[in-house]
Amino acid sequence: MKFNSWNDARKDMENCLRAEFARHAELETSAKCNTVERDYYKRMLEGDMTEVELPRALAVLSAMLRKHYQAETVIIIDEYDTPIQQGYTNGYYKEVVGFIRNLFSGAFKDNANLAYGFLTGILRVAKESVFSGMNNLKVNSIMDDRYSEYFGFTKAEVIELLDYYGRGEKLSEVCEWYDGYRFGHQDVFNPWSVINYVDDSCYPKAFWQATGSNEIIGDILSAASPEVTENLRKLLQGEQLATYIDTDVIYPDPKKNTSSIYSFLLVAGYLKNTEIVPQNDGNFMCKVSIPNKEISFVYAKEVIARIGGSATESTATAIQQAIFEKDIRKLEKHIEDYLIQTISVYDSASEAFYQGLMIGLCAILNNRYSVRSNRESGLGRFDIQLKPLVSDLPGFIFELKATKNTGENLNKLAHTALEQISSKQYAAEMKADGVKEIISVGIAFCGKSVATTSDFSTFLRNPTVTCAL
């Protein structure tokens, strides 16, 4: 749940603590606890706690449990850093860090009633100020091998799960959508998504995006430099990026230090490491890439939403609608509108730029199409392929051309792209897979102008841009 103010966030944390106290009703009348502790317990349940008293909650509860059961307590906190992220995003970072520092100091620092504590979160706790003064923490990050197989489903576990439900033939699809995470040297699947995939009759979609607002990516993109935005586009195309990884990254860092962006995305689960080279400072040089199709979907959606706001997002939706309707005329118009809204003429330097842009637009179709780029098929490598996941949808092959010559005939260039699809037999892969209808589309770009052509009849849209439908 999202909280826009510190007051609302504090009330929510108080409710969570109250619920934990209520789980131990035996403590309210325990003769082994003193009157001060029982009074604190009663006032906690009644909601009669001051902001000064509330951070003592875990210390008091662990002391009462120790006395009542004559055994040291274990404190387990999952996603401890979620309130910190919301505080940073919504403007109450200092308040929430101060509260959690006091709460955790009572729970974990000099707590004689504690056997051990266990916390999970995105941030490496050793650097976060909520743990200042604590020197007995054992940190296991995404780069460490210890416990790595417990942070997701292993491939053997996924195979066992699919076989149990009689869907063993779906393994390759599950791997494509939900595999790819790496903890240390252990490859794991997203357990939440795999479970939902099986429960949803093995229909692939981006389940993980429903678990949060993906504000991490959005906040980073809002301050991203053109270089970072271009690198994110390259990642969407399936490329790898070599970067320095600092596992001590904390929330304010991405805006203060752009080199920490990739570190942040890695520890947050939006990137995976494909090659690790340890550095002398305890950090790493890594090659990183997008883990799977599910995360590619989230990337594409956030990139489109953040580049140009709601107007750009609506145009992107119109482009997708034109693809579904097989309306090449609308497709050209909306692509041109999108270019006008989002890019500078100086951005449009190469075919690779336009390809990254188109992949971002097409990637949102991931729940109905398998989006691939630069793959071998027939006698060459197509630019973009949309292979339908639903039998009654057509397949698409996009071939792109770009020129800096403003006097060049874009319609002719688009036809050259279309002819290349035919001569190189790029549709061979989808034909072999039984796709019944395949639409070939040639697209030519120059700055913010675009022309498209397909294997339909032609017509003239306006005096400056010619489109074939």
Q: Are 108 and 75 in contact (CB under 8 A)?
A: yes
Residue 412's pLDDT is 92
Residue 211's pLDDT is 54
Mean local confidence (pLDDT), 412-423: 92
Tens-place pLDDT, residues 265-295: 888 788 888 887 777 766 778 889 989 888 8
pTM given for the model: 0.67
Rounded distance between C-alpha atoms, residue 268 and residue 276, angstroms: 17
- Backbone dihedral angles phi then psi of residue 185, each to the nearest 5 degrees: -115, 15
Where residue 324 falls among pLDDT bands split at 50, 70, 90? confident
Q: Are 176 and 208 in contact (CB under 8 A)?
A: no
Res. 203: pLDDT tops 50: yes
% of the chain at pLDDT higher than 90: 29
Res. 345: pLDDT tops 70: no
The closest alpha carbon to 362, from 443, 256, 426, belongs to 443
**Nearby residues of 144 by Cβ (< 8 Å), 6 or more positions away:** 183, 184
Say which range, 3-17, 59-73, 324-338, has the weakest mean pLDDT.
Answer: 324-338
Greatest mean pLDDT among 24-28, 109-113, 224-228, 248-252: 24-28
Res. 469: pLDDT tops 50: no
The tokens for 243 are 């970067």
- Backbone dihedral angles phi then psi of residue 243, each to the nearest 5 degrees: -155, 155
| Residue of higher predicted confidence among 59 and 262 | 59
Q: Are 31 and 8 in contact (CB under 8 A)?
A: no
Tens-place pLDDT, residues 64-108: 999 999 999 999 998 888 888 888 878 898 899 889 988 998 898
Where residue 417 falls among pLDDT bands split at 50, 70, 90? very high
Alpha carbon separation from 55 to 23, 44, 102, 469 (Å, rounded): 18, 11, 6, 66
Res. 59: pLDDT tops 90: yes
Q: Are 336 and 447 in contact (CB under 8 A)?
A: no
- Backbone dihedral angles phi then psi of residue 396, each to the nearest 5 degrees: -130, 140
Residue 74's pLDDT is 96
The mean pLDDT of the chain is 81
CB-based burial label for 456 (10 Å; 0-12, 13-18, 19+): middle
Q: Are 38 and 67 in contact (CB under 8 A)?
A: no
CB-based burial label for 432 (10 Å; 0-12, 13-18, 19+): exposed
Rounded distance between C-alpha atoms, residue 452 and residue 469, angstroms: 8
